[in-house]
């Protein structure tokens, strides 16, 4: 196979954002597009999203994009850029209709419109009561989005490079000219020369022990960008979803609570009434996860070790549970042996979503500093990116909205850029860094086992840098990460082969994960306030005077450098966040 490729636009990642971007880029006349993914596209983690995509269609009760924008800003604890939230809430309505026009099989209202249900933090009239805004296809909305976009990509004859693992970006003079990738089937290294590169590779939840994230979600491109001198924005804001299956972390959608499910502590009490009197169990995720931790800490957990909470669906009509929530019902039955129709489901918060990521403008152009300096030829969308839409805490359903809104913008913008540019020569030794990375691991001394280091990383991140944080534990974790980075130099692999050497790639992915953890922990230690998902027990209050700003963290030698970027405010004054 030819190992040098040239396309006008390269998309890295084939989940919702990547496929949406590819579709729109390919619609630009004369622009060639290819998608590179380390998985087959339909294996992407967009497929695991369950509950719905929020859009103010107003199909069930009155709703407006303005209300959605406000909820997104308040949900983000005012770290959301308000201009972005306003655009997003309008465009997500168009994008949802567009998905329907591509054939997405949404559930339907009795009149035949797209069905909608309630979700955490989505309200009518700026917080008065919960509103039905989540457009859903049973509890497999992400699966249907992924399938529908993949189907369209077949119709559009998109070029795919499946099971190609991107290991470097080609950067020269502050601009991006493509990527270098390792072909899993052969071990060959390929150069993808592009005028515009779109990064859409998803999250990094595998740095934690209990996570809803797939094994593949190791933050590869967040690390590669960081190694290439680009900043990561707001990595300290990491979302823990309240309802993960106990110990496994498998996601149970917030849509369950949207259909009426209730959280109960070990005493059977509906404790969310005490924390969010108005919308109770449908409070935003950061608040619910904290409330669950506090209940457990105060001795009101459930189970023999009082270390979990119950999700109660037993009062909901069994037919509704079976038809609107079939998958999560099955997960509970298979993995825990618990039938949600008759029994309480043991749950605990599960590491779920990175609000931060590679910083971009509203048009998905990657930026390199707090003055919004654009990196020519580089775009990012979806969970890997940070368009400052989710702020300090993402609202449920807005991840799918993000994929389709910013995936579309990325495709359009990247194609426009590519059409106006010509190819420049690639720098010499374009594959050198990738070869060095691969060879270092391949010839490593095997003094350390990848699985052991990864487990230590996951355990310590869970214990010292998850829902509640303190100076003491974060400082401790900085030291642990330094030690893990050091020991990582001693890893190696048993598999010396070139074909499907998945062991080699797992080792390289661990290196990426360590960088992601470093970004998160340093940014969390630096931010001396509590805001959204970042909850410091030693700085319990939100401090707008000092901290109403985005973090930008850079790699600086063996350490880090932190800078800031202002939050774009608008008509909503930051206020105390109550529900």
Report d(CA 533, CA 394) in Å as an integer.
Answer: 9
Based on the residue annotation, tell me whether 285 is a catalytic residue of this protein.
Answer: yes
Residue 48 in contact with another protein, rule: CB under 8 A:
yes
Q: Which stretch binds another protein (CB under 8 A): 110-118, 174-182, 265-273, 400-408?
A: 110-118
Q: How far is CA 159 from CA 23, 33, 156, 574, in A?
A: 11, 7, 9, 46
Residue 548 in contact with another protein, rule: CB under 8 A:
no
What are the residues whose beta carbons fall under 8 Å from the beta carbon of 258, sequence distance 6 or more? 51, 52, 117, 118, 119, 120, 134, 282
Contacting residue, 32, 64, 102, 341, with another protein by CB under 8 A: 102
Report d(CA 79, CA 466) in Å as an integer.
Answer: 19
Q: Which one, 131 or 137, has the nearer CB to another protein?
A: 137
Residue 215 in contact with another protein, rule: CB under 8 A:
yes
Catalytic residue among 117, 133, 206, 285: 285
Report d(CA 332, CA 6) in Å as an integer.
Answer: 47
Q: How far is the CB of 88 from another protein (least distance, A)?
A: 19
Name the pairing type of β-strands 33-37 and 159-162.
parallel
Q: Which two three-digit tokens encode residue 119?
A: 């979700």
Contacting residue, 69, 144, 412, 552, with another protein by CB under 8 A: 144
Judge contact between 140 and 398, C-beta under 8 A. no
Residue 503 in contact with another protein, rule: CB under 8 A:
yes
Residue 47 in contact with another protein, rule: CB under 8 A:
yes
Residues 427-466, interacting with another protein (CB under 8 A): 449-451
SS (H, E, C) 139-193: CCHHHHHHHHHHHHHHHCCCEEEECEEEEEEEEECCEEEEEEEEECCCCCEEEEE
Note the Cα 450 to chain centre separation in Å.
24
Q: Which stretch binds another protein (CB under 8 A): 149-157, 168-176, 419-427, 530-538?
A: 149-157
Contacting residue, 66, 100, 363, 421, with another protein by CB under 8 A: 100
Q: Which stretch binds another protein (CB under 8 A): 103-111, 403-411, 464-472, 552-560?
A: 103-111
Count of residues near another protein by CB under 8 A: 59
Judge contact between 514 and 227, C-beta under 8 A. no
Residue 107 in contact with another protein, rule: CB under 8 A:
yes
Report d(CA 65, CA 86) in Å as an integer.
Answer: 7
Residue 151 in contact with another protein, rule: CB under 8 A:
yes
Q: How far is the CB of 496 from another protein (least distance, A)?
A: 8
Q: Which one, 75 or 205, has the nearer CB to another protein?
A: 205
Q: Which one, 47 or 359, has the nearer CB to another protein?
A: 47
Q: How far is CA 251 from CA 9, 239, 240, 340, 463, in A?
A: 34, 13, 11, 14, 20
Q: Which one, 137 or 230, has the nearer CB to another protein?
A: 137
Residues 160-189, interacting with another protein (CB under 8 A): 185
Judge contact between 72 and 395, C-beta under 8 A. yes
Q: Which stretch binds another protein (CB under 8 A): 139-147, 370-378, 379-387, 469-477?
A: 139-147
Residue 333 in contact with another protein, rule: CB under 8 A:
no
Residue 140 in contact with another protein, rule: CB under 8 A:
yes
SS (H, E, C) 1-22: CCCEEEEEEEEECCCHHHHHHH
Report d(CA 176, CA 307) in Å as an integer.
Answer: 48
Residues that bind another protein (CB under 8 A): 39-40, 42-45, 47-48, 57, 97, 100-103, 105-114, 137-138, 140, 143-144, 147-148, 151-152, 154-155, 185, 214-216, 248, 250, 327, 330-331, 334-335, 449-451, 493-495, 497-503
Catalytic residue positions, numbered: 285
């Amino acid at each position: 196979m030819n190992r040098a490729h040239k396309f006008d636009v390269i998309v890295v990642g084939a989940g919702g954002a990547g496929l949406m971007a590819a579709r729109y880029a390919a619609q630009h006349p004369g622009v060639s597009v290819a998608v590179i993914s380390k998985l087959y596209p339909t294996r992407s983690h967009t497929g695991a999203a369950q509950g719905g995509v929020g859009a103010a269609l107003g199909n069930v009760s009155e709703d407006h994009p303005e209300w959605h924008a406000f909820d997104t800003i308040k949900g983000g604890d005012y770290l959301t850029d308000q201009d972005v939230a306003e655009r997003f809430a309008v465009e997500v309505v168009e994008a949802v209709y567009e998905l329907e026009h591509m054939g997405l099989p949404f559930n339907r209202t009795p009149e035949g419109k797209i069905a909608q249900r309630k979700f955490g933090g989505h309200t009518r009239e700026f917080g008065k009561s919960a509103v039905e805004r989540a457009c859903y296809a049973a509890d497999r909305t992400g699966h249907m989005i992924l399938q529908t976009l993949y189907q369209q990509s077949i119709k559009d004859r998109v070029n795919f490079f499946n099971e190609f693992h991107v290991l470097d970006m080609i950067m020269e003079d502050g601009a991006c000219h493509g990527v270098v990738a390792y072909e899993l089937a052969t071990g060959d290294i390929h150069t993808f020369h592009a005028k515009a590169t779109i990064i859409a590779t998803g999250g990094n939840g595998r740095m934690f022990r209990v996570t809803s994230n797939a094994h593949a979600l190791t933050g590869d491109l967040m690390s590669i960008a960081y190694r290439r001198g680009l900043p990561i924005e707001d990595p300290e804001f990491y979302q823990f979803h309240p309802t993960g299956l106990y110990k496994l972390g498998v996601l149970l959608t917030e849509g369950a609570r949207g259909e009426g499910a209730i959280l109960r502590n070990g005493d059977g009490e509906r404790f969310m009434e005490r924390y969010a009197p108005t919308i109770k169990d449908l409070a935003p995720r950061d608040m619910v996860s904290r409330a669950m931790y506090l209940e457990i800490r105060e001795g009101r957990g459930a189970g023999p070790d009082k270390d979990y909470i119950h999700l109660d669906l037993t009062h909901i009509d069994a037919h509704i549970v079976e038809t609107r929530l079939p998958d999560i019902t099955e997960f509970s039955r298979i993995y825990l042996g618990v039938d949600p129709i008759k029994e309480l489901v043991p749950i605990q918060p599960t590491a779920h979503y990175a609000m931060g990521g590679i910083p971009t403008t509203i048009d998905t152009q990657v930026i390199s500093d707090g003055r919004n300096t654009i990196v020519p030829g580089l775009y990012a969308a979806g969970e890997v990116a940070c368009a400052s839409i989710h702020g300090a805490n993402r609202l449920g359903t807005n991840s799918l909205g993000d994929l389709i809104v910013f995936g579309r913008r990325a495709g359009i913008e990247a194609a426009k850029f590519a059409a106006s540019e010509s190819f420049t020569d690639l720098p010499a030794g374009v594959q050198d860094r990738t070869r060095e990375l691969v060879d270092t691991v391949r010839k490593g001394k095997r003094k350390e086992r990848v699985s052991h280091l990864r487990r230590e990383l996951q355990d310590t991140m869970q214990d010292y840098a998850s829902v509640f944080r303190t100076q003491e534990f974060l400082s401790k974790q900085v030291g642990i990460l330094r030690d893990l980075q050091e020991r990582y130099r001693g890893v190696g692999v048993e598999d010396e082969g070139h074909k499907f050497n998945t062991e080699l790639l797992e080792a390289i992915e661990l290196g990426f994960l360590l960088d992601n953890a470093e970004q998160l922990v340093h940014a969390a230690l630096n931010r001396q306030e509590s805001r959204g998902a970042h909850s410091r027990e030693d700085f319990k209050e939100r401090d707008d005077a000092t901290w109403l700003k985005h973090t930008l963290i850079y790699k600086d030698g063996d350490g880090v450098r932190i800078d800031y970027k202002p939050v774009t405010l608008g008509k909503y004054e930051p206020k105390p966040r109550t529900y």
